[in-house]
Amino acid sequence: MLASARAPPASAALPARAPDRLAPLRRRLQRLAASQQPAQQAAQQQQQGEQQSFVSEEERHTLSASQIEFLERKRRAAAGLGPLFPDCCTCEQCGGSGAAPCHQCNGTGVNDGDKAAELFQNERNEIIQRNGLADNRWFFQADAPCWLCRGGKTLGCPDCGGSGMRSRSGFVAD
């Protein structure tokens, strides 16, 4: 009788744990909160950037109002807190960067085929250097660096002349 009156072990006394139906919801809420933290931090940085002055007192006394305004926009853009130029003025083709993909290699930096056949159809079109004729056809071969951008993959934008602003086609950038 004593054996049957004894209490069952603790592991047997507990009922089986019911599955937690709220666990997926909790995980979704945690992921949502984690994804919102960077956005909240960026908003706080932007508010701090709006309050923070990007121009020193010495510059305020020596520069004109338009120079101060541009310098502040420039430093704000470098910090990632806003555009350098307003959206109404940016070039549509390059997006305001002033650089467009090379139109010869399509931005790959490598000749896609043998360009020598296209460029040197006869011997009179051969490249002439200071010290006489030189055969530079190797520079135009397939899989060589692009003959136009020289492997740089980008050129100055043809629409804005590299300025990044609309209606600045006469502007020449470096």
pLDDT digits (tens, 9 = 90+) for 110-124: 887 766 666 666 555
pLDDT tens track for 33-60: 776 666 566 666 655 545 567 888 888 8
Higher per-residue pLDDT: 31 or 129? 31
Instruction: For residue 174, tell me if it sits in a domain.
Output: no
**How far apart, in whole angstroms, are the C-alpha atoms of residue 34 and residue 103?**
43
**How far apart, in whole angstroms, are the C-alpha atoms of residue 98 and residue 90?**
9
Instruction: For residue 36, tell me if it sits in a domain.
Output: no
Q: Which of 152, 147, 137, 154 is nearest to 111 (CA)?
A: 147
Domain count, the chain: 1
**How far apart, in whole angstroms, are the C-alpha atoms of residue 82 and residue 76?**
6
Q: Which domain holds residue 67?
A: 43-84
In the chain the beta strands, taken as DSSP E runs, fall at 99-101, 128-129, 132-133, 154-156
* DSSP strand pairing (99-101 vs 154-156): antiparallel
Burial state string for 55-64 with b = 16 or more CB within 10 A and e = fewer than 16? eeeeeeeeee
Instruction: For residue 165, tell me if it sits in a domain.
Output: no
Count of positions (residues) in the chain: 174
DSSP, res 139:
G
pLDDT at site 156 = 82
**How far apart, in whole angstroms, are the C-alpha atoms of residue 157 and residue 165?**
10
Averaged pLDDT of the chain: 70
Instruction: For residue 98, tell me if it sits in a domain.
Output: no
Instruction: For residue 73, tell me if it sits in a domain.
Output: yes
Radius of gyration for the alpha carbons in the chain, expressed in angstroms and rounded:
33
pLDDT at 129 over 80: no
In this prediction the pTM is: 0.40
Instruction: For residue 167, tell me if it sits in a domain.
Output: no
Q: Which of 60, 58, 41 is nearest to 49 (CA)?
A: 41
Instruction: For residue 99, tell me if it sits in a domain.
Output: no
Instruction: For residue 130, tell me if it sits in a domain.
Output: no
